[in-house]
Amino acid sequence: MRNLRFALKQEGHSRRDMFEILTRYAFPLAHSLPLFAFLNEEKFNVDGWTVYDPVEEYRRQGLPNHHWRITFINKCYELCDTYPALLVVPYRASDDDLRRVATFRSRNRIPVLSWIHPENKTVIVRCSQPLVGMSGKRNKDDEKYLDVIRETNRQISKLTIYDARPSVNAVANKATGGGYESDDAYHNAELFFLDIHNIHVMRESLKKVKDIVYPNVEESHWLSSLESTHWLEHIKLVLTGAIQVADKVSSGKSSVLVHCSDGWDRTAQLTSLAMLMLDSFYRSIEGFEILIQKEWISFGHKFASRIGHGDKNHTDADRSPIFLQFIDCVWQMSKQFPTAFEFNERLLIMILDHLYSCRFGTFLFNCESARERQKVTERTVSLWSLINSSKETFKNPFYTKEINRVLYPVASMRHLELWVNYYIRWNPRIKQQQPNPVEQRYMELLALRDEYIKRLEELQLANSAKLSDPPTSPSSPSQMMPHVQTHF
């Protein structure tokens, strides 16, 4: 968080020209210019667009199986224009069933599988709110569909539904045609509200954080100022909700359905964090990239609206730091479990920097269908190309791979802290922290290893050349005879 200022000599007449040029390229969409990602021609030795293959990722999870199938009903984005082309749905639900269910879910975002437990086969399913409205409408197809999801796991009798919203907000949404799953309609489901506030509350909270960290940090009232932002309280609520989802799936052996209003903000936070806690694969560098690509980018988090890429309308009510909040939660987890993640803090900061930079195409546009129309994978470079070309920079030297370990972070205010290296790194009055000596030594050892590998390759090359040289032929047969010394 920082403000950039440019100083120009008074006698010059270039200030207005400079201002117009900066405005033009800072907000290209307002001037009918392309985003920089479409002009960036960087070359990397790794193609980041190949990192995520949905079929391969679902196959890694053991899908399809006799309970779940892969469908291409949304191949042309006709069922739901903000969902990916490939979806995993209950085997017993036909494509016609899916079309009927879509009419009763906000934005047609039907319940689909995000993750399946490798042992107990419970699942995390995501969707949007049901369109109940003030009259309390019901939809037999939707009720039956949720029952089919419940029956894929016969270990318990009820499907657990986590509504990310405060209950008051969920009730209020009935006035605009939304709502939640009532006990009367969904007899075989349990509903819990997680009290996570909406995008507008989160936006105002981050503004308050910015005010206390830049340009001045008021030492005498620091703790009370931080508390007044409520930022860590929101982090706590998001983490608490994700822990409940993960625990219900792992320990409670219950399948879980997660939604908020439209299923692309708080829902993505909860499903991705729960999957990060449950599945150690997502705690690797490649796995974390796949998690973001799948749960956020593919499933339609509105990056263009929430970030405002290339748009000068700073007062846009759609802007909100939802993805930043997710990354902050990941950082909090990495602090509590320093050996559980293959990646370090640098990777998280790099992702956030390029969330805003428009240097890469990874976070552009609101959904997969929009990216397809704009040919993003053909016309831009992926952020994962940059990261995977220099993986060593982003590796955690303390990482220990533990395949079956489930992480349960402590979501208590006593254990949460402001991410100083991100939020306050540009404050000119705060001295930048020296690199972690262990990490610095790790990087030195990596450089030393590379040097030894290079020398070894040179020696092997030289030895191969020596061995390939033909031996010198002897000039006479006697030269081939060994010299024998006798005493007579």
**What secondary structure, in 3-state letters, does 192-240 show?**
EECCCCCHHHHHHHHHHHHHHHCCCCCHHHHHHHHHHHCHHHHHHHHHH
Q: Who contacts 284 (Cβ-Cβ below 8 Å, separation ≥6)?
A: 342, 343, 401
State the Cα–Cα distance between residues 218 and 206, nearest whole angstrom: 17
Extract the tokens encoding 329.
Answer: 């939660």
Residue 441 included in any domain: no
Upstream peptide bond of 321 is cis (omega within 30 degrees of 0):
no
**265 among the known binding-site residues?**
yes
Write out the two tokens for 16: 């207005």
**Nearest-CA neighbor of 160 among 73, 274, 264?**
274
Picking from 22, 148, 45, the residue whose alpha carbon sits closest to that of residue 384 is 45
- 296 labeled part of a ligand binding site: no
DSSP code for 126: E
The per-residue pLDDT for 379 is 98
Residue tagged active-site, from 80, 127, 260, 329: 260
Q: How far is the C-alpha of 75 from the C-alpha of 344, rounded, in Å?
A: 36
Q: Is 475 annotated as a binding residue?
A: no
Distances (CA, A) of 209 to 205, 227, 233: 6, 10, 12
Q: 403: exposed, middle or buried (C-beta count within 10 Å: 0-12, 13-18, 19+)?
A: exposed
Please give the helix or strand (H or E) that residue 475 lies within, else none.
Answer: none
Which residues, in sequence order, are bridge partners of residue 68?
90
Residue 215 lies in a domain: yes
Cross-strand partners of 193: 163
d(CA 214, CA 216): 5
198 is in an annotated binding site: yes
Does residue 449 form part of some domain?
no
Residue 488 confidence (pLDDT): 42
Q: Does residue 434 lie within any of the structural domains?
A: no
452 assigned to some structural domain:
no
Q: Could you say which residues of the chain have pLDDT below 70?
A: 1, 12-13, 431-435, 470-488
CA–CA–CA angle 192, 241, 289 (5° rounding): 135
Ligand-binding site membership of 80 (annotated):
no
How far is 197 from 363, CA to CA, in rounded Å?
24
Residues 6+ apart with CB under 8 A from 218: 212, 225
Residue 82 lies in a domain: yes
Residues 6+ apart with CB under 8 A from 33: 24, 25, 310
∠ CA 260-293-55, nearest 5°, is 105
Q: Is 127 a catalytic residue?
A: no
| Count of structural domains, the chain | 1
Task: Consult the annotation and say whether 449 binds a ligand.
Answer: no
CB-based contacts of 56, cutoff 8 Å, min separation 6: none
- Cβ neighbors of 221 (< 8 A, separation 6 or more) are none
Helix (H, G, I), strand (E, B) or coil at 326: helix
- pTM strictly above 0.75: yes
Distance, in Å, from the CA atom of 149 to the CA atom of 465, rounded to the nearest integer, reads 65
Range of the domain at 177: 54-418
Other C-beta atoms lying within 10 Å of the C-beta of residue 444: 10
| Amino acid in position 166 | P
What stretches of 151-281 adopt beta strand conformation (E)? 159-163, 189-193, 256-259
Helix, coil or strand: residue 191: strand
SS3 of residue 63 by DSSP: coil
Asked if residue 280 lies in contact with residue 405, where contact means CB atoms within 8 angstroms, the answer is yes
Domain-embedded: residue 221: yes
Q: What span, in angstroms and rounded, lies between the C-alpha atoms of 193 and 477?
A: 96
What are the tokens at 112?
Answer: 């689909």
Cα separation, 322 vs 97, in Å, equals 32
Backbone angles phi, psi at 69, to 5 degrees: -130, 155
Q: Does the annotation flag 264 for ligand binding?
A: yes
Residue 448 lies in a domain: no
